[in-house]
Chain A
Amino acid sequence: QLQLQESGPGLVKPSETLSLTCTVSGGSISGSSYYWGWIRQPPGKGLEWIGSIYYSGSTYYNPSLKSRVTISVDTSKNQFSLKLSSVTAADTAVYYCARLGGPKYSYIIYWGQGTLVTVSS
């Protein structure tokens, strides 16, 4: 059974860079016909797709976040990572990592449990 687990600091200061890693177990990131992505959810609000990456390094980003987001993959560790720069309180959210499938890699069966990241000084 595929499992995804987010890890990283739960508290980030304003203007700094948020960094999270997703470790995949029970399956390989490499050579599979899936994208791997990040989705976030501010407390009490809806879901927002941040971006997705293929094992080869090909990426798609949400246009509204593109200038601040970098998603990378480390196939040797079966991990992928998120960096979000210049954070503000508006970036406070539960961050989920996920596997995206389907012909357009647009739906998600496997999700991590989510990790709350708070932006505060």
Chain B
Amino acid sequence: QSALTQPASVSGSPGQSITISCTGTSSDVGGYNYVSWYQQHPGKAPKLIIFDVSKRPSGVSDRFSGSRSGNTASLTISGLQAEDETNYYCSSYTSSSPVVFGGGTKLTVL
């Protein structure tokens, strides 16, 4: 079971938009509408911010949005704020197991 591929780090300035990619295969990201994204602050449990590729749980800011093209899913954060600086993980359902995570991306707000 291979982890999904995310960039190790991304950065942006306050107010800008950034995108984090999550690349898999047709057996996971590209094959099912079950991609999720999590935000994790240090020392805390992850928080679900996107599910089913592009849906937001209740209470999650609409600055967070998800999309997918082929085998690559993306998380876009618009209007970057200092509080967005932390780690982000993608996850997908796969043909062989219900959950596989990406390696994680550290977002730095410059």
Chain A residues engaging chain B, CB cutoff 8 angstroms: 35, 37, 39, 45-49, 52, 60-64, 96, 100, 102-109, 111-114
Contact = CB atoms under 8 A, between A and B. Distances in A.
Contacts of A61: 97
Given A49-B98, A107-B51, A111-B46, 4 more contacts: A47-B89, A48-B101, A105-B98, A109-B48
A107 B45 contact: no
A106 B45 contact: no
A52 B100 CA distance: 12
Contacts of B57: 109
B28 to A, nearest CB: 10
B52 A112 contact: no
Contacts of B103: 46
A49 B100 contact: yes
Contacts of B36: 106-108
